[in-house]
Each structure stands twice: as C-alpha cells, then as structure tokens.
C-alpha cells in the first residue's frame, strides 16, 4: 500500500490505535500557533502581491518602468526564498492566492507601496531577531532590501511630483 498517509509513522500509529480501539492512545493536543511560520506565510502573500503590484504599476509609469520591473523580480525572488524557508519549517508548500492589484493614480499607488515596503521591512527585521541562524540572515537581508525598495519608490514619487 503506497498511501502517503501511512508513510508518516506517527500518523499511522494514531490511526491504528483508533482502528484497534486501544484505550492507551495518547492524548494529543493541537500544536501551538508558530508565530514565525505564520509570519513567513504572511510575507509570502505580501511578496506575491507586491510583485503583481509593481508589474502592473510598471505598465502605467514610463519613468522608472525598468526600476519597477526590477523590484517586481526581486519581490518574486524573495517570495521563492520565503517559500523554501516555509517548506523547511513545515514540510508543506505555501502557495499564495493569485494577486490582482487595484490601481489608483500613479502618485497614490507609489505612496501606498512606499508605506507597505516600510511596514514589511519592519516586520521582517523584527522576525529576523527571533529567527534561527540561516533564516535570520535571509530575513535581515530582505528587510534591508525592502528599505531600499521604499527609497527607490520615494525617488520615483519625487520625480513624478516635480
């Protein structure tokens, strides 16, 4: 029998104890919420939405189009890195829902993405302080790059408004 449920020994033991009617089955408590894992999932969704937003925005703004496309590519790369970290922690894939950005005026969109980059950089920086070593470096580097994205967006906004 090649059913994947039975490949996990703990799952097999729990199912077998229920089927056999064993009263000695250990009481299992649901696992506590892992805030770092939850944050990784949240950041994966934010990076996917950010990549879609930057791509859509690049099609509306001529000045800085290449820069916006470059940031979108970096956001996708961050998303993939976070998905790897998520998989290493949980053994499960975290696939974000499809993102469909709602766009306003170019200035409003740049302002919105500027504040979102700063907020995400802050959350990633805080998470880096509590994360184990390999993940710590990844999150700290992403936080720094998000600060750079915010500065690039700020510069684009300055050009657009002048």
Q: pLDDT digits over 127-144, tens only?
A: 999 898 889 999 999 999
48/20 same-domain check: no
At residue 127, what are phi and psi to the nearest 5 degrees?
A: -65, -35
Q: pLDDT digits over 56-110, tens only?
A: 999 988 888 999 999 999 999 999 999 999 999 999 999 998 877 777 888 999 9
96/19 same-domain check: no
Q: Which of 155, 108, 126, 159 is nearest to 43 (CA)?
A: 126
59/26 same-domain check: no
In angstroms, the CA 22 to CA 56 distance is 58
77/99 same-domain check: yes
The count of other CB atoms within 10 Å of the CB of residue 141 is: 14
* pTM, to two decimals: 0.75
Range of the domain at 6: 1-30
- Which tokens go with 6? 């039975």
Q: pLDDT digits over 105-115, tens only?
A: 889 999 999 99
Query: Can you list the positions of beta strands (E) in the chain?
Result: none
50/9 same-domain check: no
Q: How many domains does the chain have?
A: 2
39/25 same-domain check: no
122/136 same-domain check: yes
Q: Per-residue confidence at 122, pLDDT binned at 50, 70, 90?
A: very high
39/16 same-domain check: no
73/136 same-domain check: yes
């Amino acid at each position: 029998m090649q059913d994947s449920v039975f490949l996990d020994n703990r799952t097999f033991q729990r199912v077998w104890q229920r089927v056999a009617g064993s009263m000695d089955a250990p009481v299992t408590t649901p696992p506590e919420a892992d805030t770092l894992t939850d944050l990784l999932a949240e950041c994966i969704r934010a990076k996917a939405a950010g990549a879609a937003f930057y791509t859509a925005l690049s099609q509306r703004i001529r000045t800085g189009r290449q820069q916006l496309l470059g940031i979108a590519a970096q956001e996708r790369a961050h998303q993939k890195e976070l998905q790897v970290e998520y998989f290493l922690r949980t053994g499960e894939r975290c696939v974000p829902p499809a993102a469909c950005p709602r766009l306003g005026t170019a200035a409003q969109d740049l302002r919105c993405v500027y504040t979102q980059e700063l907020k995400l950089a802050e959350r990633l920086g805080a998470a880096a302080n509590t994360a184990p070593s390999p993940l710590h470096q990844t999150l700290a580097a992403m936080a720094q790059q998000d600060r750079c994205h915010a500065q690039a967006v700020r510069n684009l906004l300055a050009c657009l408004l002048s």
